[in-house]
Amino acid sequence: MWHVWYAIGVVVIFARWTVRIRTVGVRGLDGDDLFSIPFLALWTINAFIVYATYYSGGNIDVTAEQAEQLSDRDVWVLEYGSKWEFASFFTYCATIWCLKFMVLFFYRRLKADEWRQTVLTVKRLFWINGLAYLALFLTAMLGCRPHRCTFRPQNFWVLVVLNVLTDALIMTIPVPILWQLRVSRLRKVGVSLLLCSGVFVISTAVKASHGTSKQTELSKLSRLSRPGNTRDLDQGPDTMSGAIEMQAVEPRAEQEQDDLAISPTRGVG
């Protein structure tokens, strides 16, 4: 399903570029247009990480007892996935913050500060969001050294808090403006729901925090019952074509698997 959403996102971005270039020309593009370029790059990287880690798994997919019985090749595959999972924290956060800056540039282009009198100007919100992303980056880089030592739940909780907080602050921009418009109350509510999509983002962030905290408690369980990839480290390698086959950790742990989709020399097959 992720590839469908990726395709939809790419189509929307290219459609936006087409409309903007036809409307204002290349020289008339603003910050919200330019930030869509790194957003698309990060969106693509995230899609690849989802694909790679879906088949490779990560270090949270095995218990301590299972880890002691893994072969060198099993360890390499899990290490491969774990590195991408760690990198995904940076690309995922950067993707979210690119969207935040795109929204702020859009409001600046609408001259939102001229419509409202508040301490939280668009310029100050730029600084707040920039410092929030810096805090995320430093939390991930300095929270635990070396990075391989332990799972870092603080990274996730800092992300949730700062994501919700900055979205709430950004929503303070359009609401006062909308209620000053001389249109019907029904239209005001409709436009408010359109521009205040941060409410949806906040709700999904809170929902994700609950799901992730629950998943962390069950992280000792192996990843099971995935469509197209039914391998289990206790039961042996998957027989589905295209999935990354891993050696079983039981008596067959020493058998050689020549048809791995991932190897140190071949990369992702």
Q: Do 242 and 231 contact (CB within 8 A), yes or no?
A: no
In the prediction, which pLDDT does 248 show?
Answer: 37
Q: What digits encode the pLDDT tens for the residues 28-38?
A: 889 889 999 99
The SS3 of residue 263 is: strand
In the prediction, which pLDDT does 156 show?
Answer: 78
What pTM does this model have? 0.69
Q: Which stretch, 61-65, 108-112, 124-128, has highest mean pLDDT? A: 124-128
* One-letter identity of residue 217: E
Give Cα 62 to chain centroid, integer Å: 23
In the prediction, which pLDDT does 266 show?
Answer: 41
Burial class (CB in 10 A: 0-12, 13-18, 19+), 79: middle
Q: What digits encode the pLDDT tens for the residues 139-154?
A: 888 876 665 554 566 7
Q: What digits encode the pLDDT tens for the residues 71-91?
A: 888 788 888 888 888 888 899
Lowest mean pLDDT among 51-55, 75-79, 203-207, 244-248: 244-248
Residues 23-51, mean pLDDT to the nearest whole number: 89
* One-letter identity of residue 112: A
Report whether pLDDT(104) > 60: yes
In the prediction, which pLDDT does 37 show?
Answer: 92
Work out the angle at residue 161's Cα, subtended by the Cα atoms of residues 158 and 165, and round it to the nearest 5 degrees: 135
Report whether pLDDT(224) > 50: no
Between the CA of residue 23 and those of 68, 103, 113, what are the distances in Å?
61, 19, 24
